[in-house]
Chain A
Amino acid sequence: MYRIRFHGRGGQGMKTASRILGTAFFNEGFEVQDAPRYGAERRGAPIFAYVRAARRAIYERGVIRHPDLVIVADETLVAMPAAAVLQGVDAHCVVLIHSREPAPVWQHRLNLAGPVVILPLAEEREDRLALRQIGTACAAAAARLVGVVAWTALEQALRDELAALGDALVEANLGPARRVYDFLSPQQGCVAPGPVVAAEGYVRPDWVELAFEDARVSAPAIHAALTSEQVQTGQWRTLRPVIDCARCKGCWWVCSTFCPDGAIQVDESGRPRIDYAHCKGCMVCAAQCPHHAIEAIPEQDAPPAEDERGAK
């Protein structure tokens, strides 16, 4: 059985990727399971979707614990513990990363025993079309790497799954998909179907006796304030707002008022400061600043932000 996991951000079309790949496998006569991890999918937040495909009935279900192929649509997710990109990745598993850096760099950085394949990052195009194309490209990459999905099956899947978006969009996606599919032809078939967890010599679950705890601690209640600030929503960002101090007139803090997340505080000297640990990169501030003092910079090109590591 093939077990493939797609990691991306909400809005990058990971669900679509899993559906295209699932349908392509199906067109090739496979039994298939595809699903997004369901939950609150927010644009920019890490999400994943997965596909299983086999020549016989699939009895496994749910999240893939031991993937054969992990596809990372957004390289900034790799360092993010919450994204759990590398969960269950072992020497058998192929990792495909959408990145500008070459495979050996990633191999070394992540200390991976298995193969790493790079899907080069296209030139920056932060429009919605580009975002959707990431998902399609990822599906095409997976189809090529498993080696058992012909272009015709993939093309049909793509047409079927994107049909609702209209012909123009389907055509706009076919080209890039084909290019990815061709580009990875040297790696065709590098993903091998993985084994099942054997019933012999398995690792015993470390079950515990859950002991009673008083409702004072065991009720779903939070006896504290502002604990959400421990959640680093700054990691959702693909664009970073940067205030140009020279242009900022310290107006009535339009940026700070409109920032939906309250991620811009005004310091004692009356200057706005962006809390990059939590700024989600919506760019409302940039759009609203009357003096055009806030610039949007793609995250990859931006230096690590000062206060990104700790909560403010």
Chain B
Amino acid sequence: MTRMLLTGNGAAAWGARLAGIEYLPAFPITPQTEIIETIAKWIDFGELDCRMTTLDSEHSMITAAGGAAVTGVRVFTATSSQGLLYAMEMLYTTAGWRAPFVLVNVSRGLASPITLEPDHNDILAARDSGFLQLHCATCQEVLDGILLAYRMAEDGRVRLPVIVNLDGFYLSFTREPVEVPAAAAVARFLPPFDAQNLGFRAGAPLSEAVAVLGGSPYSYFRYQHHLAALNAEAVFEESAVAFARCFGRSYQAVEAYRCDDAELVFVMLGSFATKAKAAVDCLREAGQAVGLLRPLLLRPFPAAALRRALAGKQGVAVIDQNLSPGKGGVLYTELASALYGQADSNPMLVSFIGGLGGRDISAEEFYEMAAVTRRAAAEGQAPEPRLLYAEAELCEIKKWQAIAQVQRAKEGQP
């Protein structure tokens, strides 16, 4: 094992390399490209025995990934934002094939307006695709998450593709110390791909991914897919135990930070959750009983674990780095549905939208979200969802609008 400074993209490449990937269908997109460049270099210089093919699009890339996985090799691929959406048809399709492979998504806000910076709308658009989802908070987790993802994907109780998600810029381009395990240790944790009854070969006819006619067979196949996804939570827990034994780092489906005695809890996904951790520490120092819950697993949704962790809490601030226009935060909705209708846990849920398109969330904002949530819990009434957006930002926009309209008036009138 070596400890080295790696970006999130570097950690993703190392995860793939250690997993012994055999095939990499690829297509460039910022902020993911560095992953495929890194792996391409290893391949070119003989450090990794893997075949890489650059396709004409992400739609083609995911098709090739699924095609190779059902032919029986270990497949890795990566994309981001527009690419993930361009591939969307094939996400659903290859998941329905029950093709086990791992896709890294580097989260980036979606057009329009087109941007390079991160939020979670891309990955949440794939929420119902049938892929499992791991949401990473650190570069270490990116590497480890890929190894865990292969264990889940290839387990006979699951056999589904998995997306490992990391935030653009905040992880993808940010270097942190990462423990890179030795290949031999990884080989003990992750045996070679067992393709089960997958694979095209002469003498073993296989018609894969065939059509169905009628709702009955369709319901059967879709629900089996769902049951397999549900199984993945137990498989994750098992794999995490094995992982801890091999590498000494332990993971839970939901990371709980100073939650046991907390009255108020932040709930959020991804790398900004470490900012919440910092805020929790400061709030604790200020005498407030605040904790953090961070689902590492989003699909399957660890509803029971979240319920257990939130039982008896006064208030929960759900911070969504995404926006479903006309509805609000997606994680908030997911959490509310997990808590509702339960006899014993009814903490006050307050919804915050922040970090869209890479907008930062400051420490003060975390403190204020705690205060708002505490007040709501005391009053028994949740406020309207709050967008984290400051006066100064609005002033800036007003200035830009003036410029934009001056420009238009100039062109429009002779």
Q: Compute how far the CA of A39 lies from the CA of B212 in the bound complex, rounded to whole angstroms.
A: 11
Task: Please state if B210 and A224 are interface contacts (CB–CB under 8 Å).
Answer: no
Task: Please state if B156 and A215 are interface contacts (CB–CB under 8 Å).
Answer: yes
Task: Please state if A222 and B159 are interface contacts (CB–CB under 8 Å).
Answer: no
B230 contacts which chain A residues (CB < 8 A)?
212
- A117 CB to closest chain B CB (Å) equals 31
B184 interface residue, CB < 8 Å from A?
no
- The verdict on A218 contacting B197 (CB below 8 Å), with A223-B205, A223-B206, A224-B205 known, is no
Q: Number of A residues whose C-beta is below 8 Å from B?
A: 17
Chain A contact residues, majority secondary structure:
loop
User: In the complex, what residue of chain A is closest to B223 when comparing beta carbons?
Assistant: A210
B156 contacts which chain A residues (CB < 8 A)?
214-216
A167-211 contacts to B (CB < 8 Å): 210-211
Task: Please state if A220 and B96 are interface contacts (CB–CB under 8 Å).
Answer: yes
- A91 CB to closest chain B CB (Å) equals 28
B96 contacts which chain A residues (CB < 8 A)?
220
- B86 CB to closest chain A CB (Å) equals 24
Task: Please state if A219 and B205 are interface contacts (CB–CB under 8 Å).
Answer: no
Task: Please state if A39 and B224 are interface contacts (CB–CB under 8 Å).
Answer: no
B45 interface residue, CB < 8 Å from A?
no
- A42 CB to closest chain B CB (Å) equals 12
Q: Compute how far the CA of A220 lies from the CA of B206 in the bound complex, rounded to whole angstroms.
A: 11
- A10 CB to closest chain B CB (Å) equals 14
B209-227 contacts to A (CB < 8 Å): 209-210, 212-213, 217, 220-221, 223-224, 227
User: In the complex, what residue of chain B is closest to A224 when comparing beta carbons?
Assistant: B205
User: Which residue among B207, B208, B217, B230 has the maximum number of chain A CB atoms within 10 Å of its CB?
Assistant: B207
Q: Compute how far the CA of A39 lies from the CA of B211 in the bound complex, rounded to whole angstroms.
A: 12
Task: Please state if B206 and A215 are interface contacts (CB–CB under 8 Å).
Answer: no
B301 interface residue, CB < 8 Å from A?
no
- A226 CB to closest chain B CB (Å) equals 8
User: In the complex, what residue of chain B is closest to A210 when comparing beta carbons?
Assistant: B223
A164 interface residue, CB < 8 Å from B?
no
Task: Please state if A221 and B209 are interface contacts (CB–CB under 8 Å).
Answer: yes
Q: Compute how far the CA of A223 lies from the CA of B220 in the bound complex, rounded to whole angstroms.
A: 18
Task: Please state if A221 and B231 are interface contacts (CB–CB under 8 Å).
Answer: no
Q: Compute how far the CA of A216 lies from the CA of B221 in the bound complex, rounded to whole angstroms.
A: 12
B58-85 CB mask vs A (1 if < 8 Å, else 0) is: 0000000000000000000000000000
A213 interface residue, CB < 8 Å from B?
yes
Q: Compute how far the CA of A224 lies from the CA of B156 in the bound complex, rounded to whole angstroms.
A: 21
Task: Please state if A220 and B210 are interface contacts (CB–CB under 8 Å).
Answer: yes
Q: Compute how far the CA of A68 lies from the CA of B230 in the bound complex, rounded to whole angstroms.
A: 44
A211 contacts which chain B residues (CB < 8 A)?
227
User: In the complex, what residue of chain B is closest to A226 when comparing beta carbons?
Assistant: B205
Q: Compute how far the CA of A274 lies from the CA of B224 in the bound complex, rounded to whole angstroms.
A: 41
Task: Please state if B206 and A212 are interface contacts (CB–CB under 8 Å).
Answer: no
- B45 CB to closest chain A CB (Å) equals 37
Task: Please state if B224 and A212 are interface contacts (CB–CB under 8 Å).
Answer: yes
B206 contacts which chain A residues (CB < 8 A)?
221-223
B170 interface residue, CB < 8 Å from A?
no
Q: Compute how far the CA of A219 lies from the CA of B199 in the bound complex, rounded to whole angstroms.
A: 13
A105 interface residue, CB < 8 Å from B?
no
A40 interface residue, CB < 8 Å from B?
yes
Task: Please state if B205 and A215 are interface contacts (CB–CB under 8 Å).
Answer: no
Q: Compute how far the CA of A226 lies from the CA of B228 in the bound complex, rounded to whole angstroms.
A: 29
Task: Please state if A213 and B207 are interface contacts (CB–CB under 8 Å).
Answer: no
Task: Please state if B205 and A221 are interface contacts (CB–CB under 8 Å).
Answer: no
A246 contacts which chain B residues (CB < 8 A)?
none
Task: Please state if B227 and A210 are interface contacts (CB–CB under 8 Å).
Answer: yes
Task: Please state if B196 and A210 are interface contacts (CB–CB under 8 Å).
Answer: no
Task: Please state if B221 and A219 are interface contacts (CB–CB under 8 Å).
Answer: yes
A165 contacts which chain B residues (CB < 8 A)?
none
Task: Please state if B207 and A218 are interface contacts (CB–CB under 8 Å).
Answer: no
Task: Please state if B205 and A212 are interface contacts (CB–CB under 8 Å).
Answer: no
User: In the complex, what residue of chain B is closest to A216 when comparing beta carbons?
Assistant: B197
Interchain Cβ contacts under 8 Å between A and B, 14 examples: A210-B220, A210-B224, A212-B227, A214-B156, A214-B159, A215-B159, A218-B220, A218-B224, A219-B224, A220-B212, A223-B197, A223-B205, A224-B205, A225-B205
Inter-chain pairs besides A220-B96, A222-B210, 7 sampled, C-beta below 8 Å: A210-B223, A213-B227, A215-B98, A215-B156, A215-B196, A216-B197, A218-B98
A-binding residues in B (CB < 8 A): 96-98, 156-157, 159, 196-197, 204-210, 212-213, 217, 220-221, 223-224, 227-228, 230-231
B-binding residues in A (CB < 8 A): 39-40, 210-216, 218-225
